[in-house]
Amino acid sequence: MLGDGTTLRYIYEVSTNPEALPMSMRMGLVQHNCTYEALRPVIEAGATVEHVYQRTDGSEIGVVTVTRDICGS
């Protein structure tokens, strides 16, 4: 987990080689972050949460971004 200004970034290294993140996974992450008691106040205060998925070689699989607007605050 890394922080940069108002962005909280989680970086996941995936050992398989998917082409992209499934939409169901993206939607599940957004829903979880928007309702998670520990993150909700941070998001409501204007922070951005990013979940970055990458392969072991460092190439990006996908990013899921969660913001106050996405959560409907």
Q: How far is CA 44 from the centre of its chain?
A: 15
pLDDT at 5: 75
pLDDT at 53: 96
Residue of 49, 53, 62 whose CA lies nearest to 7: 49
pLDDT at 4: 61
pLDDT at 1 over 60: no
> What's the pTM value of the predicted model, to 2 decimals?
0.85
Q: Which two tokens stand for residue 41?
A: 């106040």
Looking at domain 2-71, which CATH architecture does it have? Answer: 2-Layer Sandwich (3.30)
pLDDT digits (tens, 9 = 90+) for 2-32: 556 789 999 999 988 888 899 999 999 999 9
Q: Over the range 19-47, which residues count as b (16 or more CB within 10 Å of their CB) and which as e? A: eebeeeebeebbeebbeeeebeebbeeeb
